[in-house]
Structure 1
Amino acid sequence: MSTSATSSPARLFVPVRRHGTAVVLRTFLDPGGVRTGVGFTSRDLLREVLGAECACVELGVGALRLLLEARGTTALTVDPRLSLAPAKPPARLVAA
């Protein structure tokens, strides 16, 4: 679900990647191919969708939107229910 100013929760658990001492906000592509930020209303739901090993931070919705806008992303999806692993590259064909 996408959020609006009137329907969004106050704080979200947001997936991040850790690179040394840096923490980088993760974004995803929605089914239509649009880059979107993702937030979850509970840590358990985040782990259910993205896996127990997924690092996260808790952010207010306003702060998350500012960080997304700085990256050129205006879409925010709350509590997505489906996550797909990246597609594997096709196997190399070997001439016989």
Structure 2
Amino acid sequence: GVNLTPHAKPYLAQACKDVRVLRRSVYAQAAHARNHVAAHMVLSSSPPKGLPGDSIEDAAVATPDEVDAALLQYQRDVERRLRRHSAINQ
């Protein structure tokens, strides 16, 4: 290590703080971009709207096992699309 002068310590402390703030900002921007891409992929792959008579109550006819299976499949689809998208962008 290098011995720091008393005048260098406050400068370096501020520089380290600035780097932490910048890093946090970049991480937040990257997370926002990932969420935006994921939302776009999910929304663009959504099936068309049902018939005008369809309602939210229609979902209640599924059994808990069917709901779990559908959610698991949905999760796999989203993860596959995210992997494909990240492979394209690398």
Same fold, TM exceeding 0.5?
no
More helix by share: 2
Q: TM-score, normalised on structure 1?
A: 0.18
Instruction: Select the structure of larger CA radius of gyration.
Output: 2
More strand by share: 1
Q: TM-score, normalised on structure 2?
A: 0.18
Q: Looking at both structures, which has the greater relative contact order when contacts are Cα pairs under 8 Å and sequence separation is at least 6?
A: 2
